[in-house]
Amino acid sequence: MMIDLRGKTALITGAALAKGLGFSAARKMAEQGAKLFLTDIDGARVAERAAELTAQGHEVYAMAHDVTDEAAWDAVMAAVVEKLGGLDILVNNAGIAVLKMMSVMTKGAWDHQLNVNLNSVYLGCKAGLDQMRAQGRGGSIINLSSIAGVIGVPGCAAYAASKGGVRLMTKAIAMEAAREQIRVNSVHPGSIWTEMQDVALADNKEQFDIIEAAIPMGRLGDPDDIGAMIAFLASDDAKYITGAEFIVDGGMTAQ
């Protein structure tokens, strides 16, 4: 059975990369009938992604967006309401990875990681909840975490702190919003072939050979593996799922 998102409106952050998780989710959701609003700190590139989907016959809008700026969230939400008429789905996908051992982690790098990956999700959830509550028709919020928010990974202390925070914040917010039929869930990708992974592979192929060999399914995941999970959680097929975490990692954390 194909997921049906016709009549749904969605805001997806961090959607500028053609081979990224945000755009993969956008493509899946557009194919299933959702009307989309895409944002990213890189306004020009996210506009390209929106144009790509629009050319395929989908209704998609885009806007530059600093997810760490509360006023920017207000402006984006106003634009979503103006263009789409309301908000049914929010995907908090925007994020960065500051991968440094604690011995060389500066306070500035630590703060930057938590600001972009954790504080922004707080701002997004707050703005999304306010809008969904005002509408009174429920909704779905999907927050992107990571397997690094579930297990320990060397060199990921700041990243893990941000993603672990997203994991448990998601559960707490889900409990606050459940009676209003606003569902809040987290998705935890493992090693996925994104554009960031392409860059890392070029810099350190040996390390990635080790990572790939450690995955029980024997390969890195595809962005569409994550996009499909996000689209499912956005749909009414997941109407009784909230406060849950979904690990998509080829079996890495099952070991």
Q: In this structure, how many other beta carbons lie within 10 angstroms of the beta carbon of residue 6?
A: 8
Quick one: which of 226, 130, 123 has its CA closest to 182? Answer: 130
* Active site (annotated) includes residue 122: no
CA distances from 213 to 140, 191, 206, 220, 240 (A): 35, 12, 11, 9, 36
DSSP H/E element including 212 = helix 205-214
Cβ–Cβ < 8 Å for 5, 32: yes
Q: How far from 70 is each of 98, 109, 181, CA to CA, in Å?
A: 22, 21, 25
Residue with tokens 């559960």: 171
* SS3 (DSSP) at 38: strand
The token pair at 185 is 């869930």
Which residues neighbour 189 within 8 Å (Cβ) at sequence distance 6 or greater?
Answer: 21, 144, 146, 147, 221, 225, 226, 248, 249
Positive/negative CA dihedral, 126, 10, 243, 41 = negative
User: 61, 122, 159, 240: which one is catalytic?
Assistant: 159
Q: In 132-248, at which residue ranges do the beta strands (DSSP E only) sit?
A: 139-144, 182-189, 245-248
Catalytic annotation, residues: 159
